[in-house]
Amino acid sequence: LRVLAIESSCDDTGCAILDGNGTILAEGLHTQQSHAALGGVVPEIAARAHLAILPGLVAQTLADAGLGLRDVSIFAATTGPGLIGGVVVGSTYAKGMALALGKPFMAINHIEGHVLAPRLAAHLAGDTPPAFPYLALLMSGGHSQCVLVMGVGRYKVLGGTIDDAAGEAFDKAAKMLGLGWPGGPALEVLARQGDPRAHALPRPLLGRAGCDFSFSGLKTAVARLLEPWNGPDGLQALPQAAAADIAASFQQAVGDCLVDRLNHAFAQCAANNIPLTTLVVAGGVAANQNLRARLAGCAERHHVRFEAPPLRHCTDNAAMIGWAALERLRARGWGQRATAALTVVDELTTPARPRWPLEERGPEGP
C-alpha cells in the first residue's frame, strides 16, 4: 500500500508518499515566498501558485521515491478547512489522479492532520505513538485550538481562539516591531535578549472558565507600548534593547495564557475521568523553544507525556495528511490488505470546504 497525499490549504504546497506502515518514502514542500513582500498570504495568488507548483512537485516526489503514478494505491488531499482556492486546487488535483487511475480518494481534514501528526512523528522516531486519549494544542498562523483526541475521528474541541490565532498574534506583534512577515521566528530570537518582566502586558481570559484563547488585546497593548516611537520615520528610533523587552514580555504573556488555558483543559478532563496520556503540540508556533519548554513543563506537572513533532511536521506539510489517511484506514480495521477492499471511492464527491469543524468529521470504525 502506498498513499500519495497533497496539502495546499494555505501558502505551502506539499506532496508526500507514505507506505502502509506510515514510513515516508518521499516528501516535498514548496513554501510560496511571494507573500512576504505583501505582508500576508494573498489567497488568489496562493491558489494560482499551488496550481503552477503541483505538477512538478508531484513528479519530483514520485521520482524521489523511485515510483510511478501507477504504484500509488490511494490518493489523499486536504479538502478543508483553509483558503478555498488552494484547497480546491490541491484536492481536485488529487481527485483527478485518483479518477484517472481508478484508485480511491480520501478527503482529509487539515486540522485532523495536525492533531494526529505527533503520532506520525513518534512513529518516525521509532517511538510508540502517543496513545488516546490525549490533549492536542494546535497553534498556527490561522488556528488556535485545544482538542481532546479520544481516537481517530473522535475529537472534542475544548477551546479555540475568540479573535486572533496565536501565530497571527506573533506575526502582528512582529510586524509592529519592524520584524517583517511572518515574524514569529524573528520575534522569538529578539525576545531572547529581552526581559520578560519588563512590561506588564494583559493576559486575556486568564483564570476564566473553559479553555478559549484571546490574543487581540495583547496585540493592542503592544501597539500602545510602541506609540512613543511611532513617528513619521516609523520605528527607526526604537532601540534594540527596548524592542527586545517588548518581544520578551509579549512572548511571556502568550506563554502564561497558553499554560493557564491548558490547566483548565486538564482540569476539565480530570473532572470527566478522562485518563489523558499525553500533551501534544502542533502548528508553527510550537517551533518556539521558549513556549515548547513551558508547555513541556505543563505536561510534566500534569504527569503526562509531552510530544512535539520536529518543525517540518509541526507546520503545514503533506506527510501528516497521508498519515491521517492511514490512521483512518487502520481505524476501519483495514491493514495492509488489497485496495479492492476499500470503500472510500465515495470520498471523490467530498467538496472542498473553507470551514470544516473537526467535530463534524465522523468517527471511524469497523
Q: Which is nearer to ligand ATP, 22 or 182 (CB)?
A: 182
Residue of 282, 277, 201, 206 whose CA lies nearest to 245: 201
Query: Which residue matches cell numbers 513541556?
Result: 296
Q: Which of 1, 4, 6, 10 binds ligand ATP (CB under 6 A)?
A: 10
Residue 137, beta-bridge partner list: 146, 281
Q: Could you say which of ligand ATP, Fe ion, none residue 285 binds, taking C-beta under 5 to 8 angstroms by partner kind?
A: ligand ATP
Q: Smallest distance, Å, CB 252 to ligand ATP?
A: 13
306 to each of 9, 89, 122, 324, how far by Cα in Å?
27, 35, 11, 20
Q: Could you say which of ligand ATP, Fe ion, none residue 27 binds, taking C-beta under 5 to 8 angstroms by partner kind?
A: none
7 to each of 91, 116, 155, 164, how far by Cα in Å?
8, 15, 21, 23
Tell me: is residue 142 an annotated ligand-binding position: yes
The x, y and z cell numbers of residue 280, run together, are 501534544
The x, y and z cell numbers of residue 248, run together, are 520578551
Q: Does 143 bind ligand ATP (CB under 6 A)?
A: yes
Contact 161, 217 (CB under 8 A): no
The interface with ligand ATP within residues 166-195 (CB under 6 A) comprises: 167, 170-171, 182, 184-185, 188
Q: Does 288 bind ligand ATP (CB under 6 A)?
A: yes
Residue of 179, 161, 265, 287 whose CA lies nearest to 226: 179
Q: Which amino acid is at 39?
A: G
The interface with Fe ion within residues 262-281 (CB under 5 A) comprises: none
Q: Could you say which of Fe ion, ligand ATP, none residue 288 binds, taking C-beta under 5 to 8 angstroms by partner kind?
A: ligand ATP
- Which region among 164-172, 212-220, 301-309, 346-354 touches ligand ATP (by CB under 6 A)? 164-172
Q: Which of 85, 141, 309, 322 binds ligand ATP (CB under 6 A)?
A: 141
- Which region among 69-77, 134-142, 218-226, 264-272 touches ligand ATP (by CB under 6 A)? 134-142
Q: How big is the CA angle at 212 (ends 80 and 120), to the nearest 5 degrees?
A: 50
Handedness of CA 44, 49, 52, 56 (dihedral sign): negative
The interface with Fe ion within residues 124-163 (CB under 5 A) comprises: 140
44 to each of 29, 111, 186, 324, how far by Cα in Å?
19, 22, 27, 27
Site string for ligand ATP, 15-34 (x = CB under 6 A): --------------------
How many residues sit in the footprint of Fe ion (CB under 5 A)? 2
Number of Cβ atoms within 10 Å of the Cβ of 327: 22
Tell me: is residue 207 an annotated ligand-binding position: no
Query: Helix, strand, or coil here: 118?
Result: helix
Tell me: is residue 106 an annotated ligand-binding position: no
Q: Which residue's beta carbon is nearest to the bound Fe ion?
A: 316
Tell me: is residue 303 an annotated ligand-binding position: no
The x, y and z cell numbers of residue 59, run together, are 513528479
The x, y and z cell numbers of residue 349, run together, are 464527491
- Which region among 95-103, 284-292, 293-301, 343-351 touches ligand ATP (by CB under 6 A)? 284-292
Site string for Fe ion, 276-315 (x = CB under 5 A): ----------------------------------------
Q: Smallest distance, Å, CB 82 to Fe ion?
A: 8
Q: What CA dihedral angle connects 50, 8, 311 and 215, to 10 degrees?
A: 110
102 to each of 11, 19, 105, how far by Cα in Å?
30, 19, 9
Q: Could you say which of Fe ion, ligand ATP, none residue 145 binds, taking C-beta under 5 to 8 angstroms by partner kind?
A: none
Q: Mark the binding-site residues, compressed into ranges.
A: 110, 114, 138-142, 171, 184, 188, 288, 316
The residues binding ligand ATP (CB under 6 A) are 9-10, 82, 140-143, 167, 170-171, 182, 184-185, 188, 283-285, 287-288, 315-316
